[in-house]
Structure 1
């Protein structure tokens, strides 16, 4: 798989692979942060991802994930992707209002715009070929904000999590569970973590969280799409 495709799969995988459910205890309101990750494939660093959460006013928040090629072919082509979600804080959990995805790998570009009308309970998705619509679901998030949502659920003690996720043509219920505890060493330091796998297939996807410290993973590995690995480099609040 080429480096640009790897970056695209990383950006999608980071969000698509993770999901959660409403926490059984009250979840604290969001606080702004910036998290920086190192992206690797097959042991070689190919890029950097920066995730930010900022207030947008009126009870809304903007969650952004910017991935950039920094080495090899990915850097030469200027491969990069951006995912931006606007969500509202509803029932102690994020709930998507809009989601935008843009990928530019030099010779290949892709985009997606998702808009949620909560008054009519409709989701509209447009990739430049005309809009598609389908019903929304209460508590629905998107592939970009699911990593954040699962971290919030783990913080309240959840060990098995499920969440409705808006994808291209429908709302997809994704299931994850905690399978154990590990000490993980990443560029940001060494952390006691909870390991989360998707659908019981730890070979396809695993993420390690230190939920009482950070609301996003400290490490993520995914065999789907090219053996990608994400490691936390730094986390800054505010």
Structure 2
């Protein structure tokens, strides 16, 4: 259950188009079928000094809380993560991750659950928040399949996605036209399923996420309200 929850929280929101970033904020409701759990989450993107951006995420529910922050910059049409911080409490063991990206030395240095981490990195690699920005940009650009190298704890993991088509999503903000995207996993390695919907008319903000775990439990994330570039998200 803990792993399922973290997978859901990790992809709660995607911000504005990669090379035309706009500050945004979004709130979500989360429901766990077959379990008496519900919660809320907030995610925001803010411009910082020197061309840097801050991507923040906070989630709270009955048995757990989570905070996640990334700073990054866009350089020559590439996202460069600079720092990543993750803290989870409740729902079993707590977890803390710290990562600092040194693009001059091409390495990331940090800690994972108190253990030191040092990994070689190449341009294009992302942290567990910034890959979402790249995914959003690629969906906006019309790509149908995407693959990313992500610094995940003390390893470099490959995250694969594919576009399934277009669909209308009913949210509290109204009916929103969205692009439907699926996380691709090897069925011989994992039976988990993750599907995401990105708003076509709102810089591809995430409006819905549905996940099925290997034990059959289902998780639903739905947009409650949001703002992109100062404008309130509204559907039909």
TM-score, normalised to structure 1's length?
A: 0.81
- The residue that corresponds to 2:32 in the other structure is 41
Contact in 2 for aligned 1:14/1:147 (Cα 8 Å): no
What CA deviation, in whole Å up to 9, does each residue of 1:89-110 have, x standing for no partner? 1232422111111111177421
- The residue that corresponds to 1:21 in the other structure is none
Contact in 1 for aligned 2:95/2:113 (Cα 8 Å): no
- The residue that corresponds to 1:60 in the other structure is 52
What CA deviation, in whole Å up to 9, does each residue of 1:94-143 have, x standing for no partner? 22111111111177421111111111000123024331111112122211
2:26 counterpart of 1:32: no
Please give the root-mean-square deviation of Cα atoms over the aligned residues, in Å: 2.6
- How far, CA to CA, are the matches of 1:155 and 1:95 in structure 2? 19
1:142 counterpart SS class: coil
1:82 to partner: Cα distance: 0.3
Distance 1:128 1:27, change over 3 A: closer
- How far, CA to CA, are the matches of 1:169 and 1:109 in structure 2? 17
Residue range with higher mean Cα deviation, 118-127 or 98-107: 98-107
1:214 to partner: Cα distance: 3.1
2:74 counterpart of 1:89: yes
Q: Flag structure 1 segments of 5+ consecutive residues without an equivalent.
A: 19-25
- How far, CA to CA, are the matches of 2:192 and 2:92 in structure 1? 32
1:54 counterpart SS class: strand
1:228 to partner: Cα distance: 1.7
What CA deviation, in whole Å up to 9, does each residue of 1:177-222 have, x standing for no partner? 1012211112222122211111167961100112342333110112
Contact in 2 for aligned 1:151/1:211 (Cα 8 Å): no
2:155 counterpart of 1:170: yes
Q: Which has the higher strand share?
A: 2
1:37 to partner: Cα distance: 0.8
- How far, CA to CA, are the matches of 1:154 and 1:49 in structure 2? 23
TM-score, normalised to structure 2's length?
A: 0.82
- The residue that corresponds to 1:112 in the other structure is 97
2:98 counterpart of 1:132: no
1:1-238 alignment, distance < 5 Å: 1=1, 7-12=5-10, 14=12, 27-42=18-33, 46-69=38-61, 74=62, 77=63, 79-105=64-90, 108-199=93-184, 204-224=193-213, 226-237=217-228, 238=230
Q: What is the aligned residue count?
A: 220
- How far, CA to CA, are the matches of 1:56 and 1:217 in structure 2? 23
- How far, CA to CA, are the matches of 1:204 and 1:107 in structure 2? 23
Q: Which has the higher contact order (CA 8 A, sep 6+)?
A: 1
Contact in 2 for aligned 1:65/1:144 (Cα 8 Å): no
Contact in 1 for aligned 2:18/2:136 (Cα 8 Å): no
Distance 1:99 1:128, change over 3 A: same
- How far, CA to CA, are the matches of 1:133 and 1:27 in structure 2? 28
- How far, CA to CA, are the matches of 2:115 and 2:175 in structure 1? 47
Distance 1:5 1:157, change over 3 A: closer
